[in-house]
Structure 1
């Protein structure tokens, strides 16, 4: 029945500025509705992000309501810190890891490598990539260390 996630939504205070921010991440604007809602394709005809202009963006952050993780390739993730900084976006600390390099969170026979950052309204964003965990490592670590340990 379910084949994937089609859409997710975030609250934003300045729709035009947020469209520019997400366009800078590579999302493509499809349409806007009455200067209060915009839909941008994450993956054309497969998944999109809805941005809602509101004065209620000051809701206390909780990952269940103000977080989106974008799937990226491992190569893209390896370059993500410099890529974000080159665009004027600031990677941030997450799970005790400083944003100097993506980090890895292992889960049994697979792991997730990730880096976190915020949009202009403080919505939590993440680039993430699923990887194999051939050595069944259990320790969280920076991606560079993970790759060294899995050589």
Structure 2
């Protein structure tokens, strides 16, 4: 029945500035509705992100309400920290890992490599990719360490 996630929404305090921010990430603006809601294609005709201008954008952060993870390739993720910085975005610490490179969280035969950053309103954004875990490693480490173990 369910085939994937079609849309996610985030609150923002200034729609115009947020549009510039998300266009800077390479997302394509689909349309603006009533000057308070903007839709961006994450993957054209497949999934999108809605940004709602609101005076409630300063809700206390919790990953269940203010978090979006964008899927990227492993090769792109390896360069994500520099790519973000070149565009004026700052990767941030997450789960005890510094922002200088992606890290891996592995469990239950799965593994994901990722890096985190925030938008202008403190919404948590993530670039993430699933990676092979043939040895069923159940640890957290930087991606460079993971690659040494799995070389």
Same fold (TM over 0.5): yes
| SS of alignment partner, residue 135 of structure 1 | coil
Report the TM-score when normalising by structure 1.
0.98
For 1:85, the equivalent position in structure 2 comes to 85
For 2:67, the equivalent position in structure 1 comes to 67
For 1:12, the equivalent position in structure 2 comes to 12
In the alignment, the residues of structure 1 paired with residue 46 and residue 121 of structure 2 have an alpha-carbon distance, to the nearest angstrom, of 25
Structure 2 unaligned residues grouped into runs of 5+: none
For 1:41, the equivalent position in structure 2 comes to 41
Question: Deviation digits for residues 90-144 of structure 1, max 9, x if unmatched?
Answer: 0000000010110000023220000000000000000000011112212200000
Question: Deviation digits for residues 16-55 of structure 1, max 9, x if unmatched?
Answer: 1111111111110011012100000000000000000001
For 1:120, the equivalent position in structure 2 comes to 120
Q: Does the 8 Å contact 1:38/1:52 carry over to 2?
A: yes
In the alignment, the residues of structure 2 paired with residue 83 and residue 94 of structure 1 have an alpha-carbon distance, to the nearest angstrom, of 18
Q: CA RMSD in A?
A: 0.7
For 1:50, the equivalent position in structure 2 comes to 50
The size of the alignment, in residue pairs, is 151
In the alignment, the residues of structure 2 paired with residue 59 and residue 37 of structure 1 have an alpha-carbon distance, to the nearest angstrom, of 18
Structure 1 runs (4+) greater than 2 angstroms displaced: none
For 1:111, the equivalent position in structure 2 comes to 111
